[in-house]
Structure 1
């Protein structure tokens, strides 16, 4: 694949494991097709456990993230050294986000909604990207150590768990062919899927040990991040083909951000070539 055909995708979330659960399937599809994918977590996830803390937890979650990236075919995973729950929309963080997007030469940026319910870090991640967006292309005096882009990327929003009741699925990607890879990406984050979340839900005694059982476990308890839901169906039929909604079981939805350009369906299919397969 030539560099002109190759797409550069960056997923910017608030915590390690969120790029995987919200966009892991789409990322695996891009990687399989030869495109370049990068994950960024704006915090180090140091609140994400009930018995491990501090640098020990940061180190563990970092290694889990790197393993998830390997399983998904993601080329790079950056984790900022900001404590979980303390992410703010400061100019320092905005400039680092500009730097990350520019240095990756991103064609597509995927992040969280800047408003609505859900985790405060997730909202702030969305706000940081939104407020950085105007400086990414053709503003050479902003963050001059990172060469500015000639064209602004397409910005897409992941529907955070607190936003699922009120979002527009402008783009829905069928991830059925890579569902195993998405689940393996989640599985790499054992501290979250098999320890912290089960502890919060009083399910620690139900965590299975074999991979086949763990696949079913993730599919059961994280189904809303994996399975097609009714609001996605019209978009599947529009972007793929009539009747696609009846054939699709696993999918990831995205909303086109209101602060970037709004592409036509033709441009969406150019940026997301899996839609034409």
Structure 2
């Protein structure tokens, strides 16, 4: 299989809104740079992350899923990304081999330059580290010559973990601070489509401002808005930067 013409970015999100809060800036930034960006949502977050909707009268699971689908699709469009929904449920989330192999196929078709997903630990939400486990397992299988040997294997795209809701409790420490100031308005517009989680709009604005301050203090640049990431694997380079 030939390499995708455009460089690409893969985002594996446990729930339909997670990628917006945590990686919306990266998605918008790399889309503007000409990358093909694909977001894979394992679940709609229909049980555990849609409390506002369940408080409405006569609410049903199909209605919640449809609303979360619409919100996430609109957000992805604002950010410049493709989006796919695997709809495997949440609270609890369970991943079958069939779903795992679907993600492997996405890796081999997209051939991403790098991958974004959740923290490796999260005692508040088991779906989040599960999503990252699946993203990494699919990455390993996509590298295996014995899996569907008629397909070309992928290389070793770096995996970066975006910020959890309570990083101190999740053993998450940022070692990459990304300047998203130029695309902040896109990220803000994207998360304001998430009506089911309106209570998080202000919170993630504060997070972006805080990471922006930290990014400025760790550079010679004036940065207003930032996103934090933690690398899983060592950075490979020819010189320090």
When normalised by structure 1's length, the TM-score is 0.73
Measure the CA separation in 1 of the matches of 2:71 and 2:108. Answer: 26
**Which deviations, in whole Å up to 9, do the C-alpha atoms of 1:19-61 show, x marking residues without a partner?**
1111101111111111111111111222213233311111111
Which of 80, 86, 99 is residue 80 of structure 1 equivalent to? 86
Alignment of 1:116-127 (within 5 A): 116-127=122-133
Equivalent in 131, 139, 142 of residue 136 of structure 1: 142
Q: What is the aligned partner in structure 2 of residue 173 from structure 1?
A: 178
What is the RMSD computed on CA atoms of the aligned residues? Answer: 2.8
Q: Secondary structure at the match of 2:210?
A: coil
**Kept in 2: contact 1:118–1:163 (CA 8 A):** no
Which of 207, 230, 249 is residue 224 of structure 2 equivalent to?
249
Paired with 1:163 and 1:146, the residues of 2 have a C-alpha distance of 42
TM-score by length of 2: 0.83
Contact 2:9 2:113 in 1 (8 A): yes
Residue 100 of structure 2 corresponds to which residue in structure 1?
A: 94
Q: Answer yes or no: is the 8 Å Cα contact 2:215–2:226 preserved in 1.
A: no
Q: Are 1:33 and 2:39 matched, yes or no? A: no
Aligned to 1:187: 192
| Number of equivalenced pairs | 231
CA contact (8 A) 1:169 1:232 kept: no
C-alpha spacing 1:225/1:80, structure 2 compared with 1 (3 Å): farther
Compared CA separation, residues 71 and 229, structure 1 to 2 (3 A)? closer
Contact 2:15 2:43 in 1 (8 A): yes
Per mean C-alpha deviation after superposition, the further-off stretch among 11-20 and 154-163 is 154-163
**Per-residue deviation, 1:130:** 2.5
Structure 1 match to 2:75:
68
Q: What CA deviation, in whole Å up to 9, does each residue of 1:131-162 have, x standing for no partner? A: 3332122x2432x2993434121111112113
Answer with 87-96 or 154-163: which moved more. Answer: 87-96
Shift in alpha-carbon separation, 1:248–1:46, aligned structure 2, 3 A? same
Q: Which of 53, 58, 62 pairs up with 2:65?
A: 58
Gap runs ≥5 in structure 1: 199-217, 270-277
Q: Whole-Å Cα distance in 2 between the matches of residues 5 and 90 of structure 1?
A: 31
Q: Contact 1:12 / 1:42 at 8 angstroms: preserved in 2?
A: yes
Match of 1:273 in 2: none
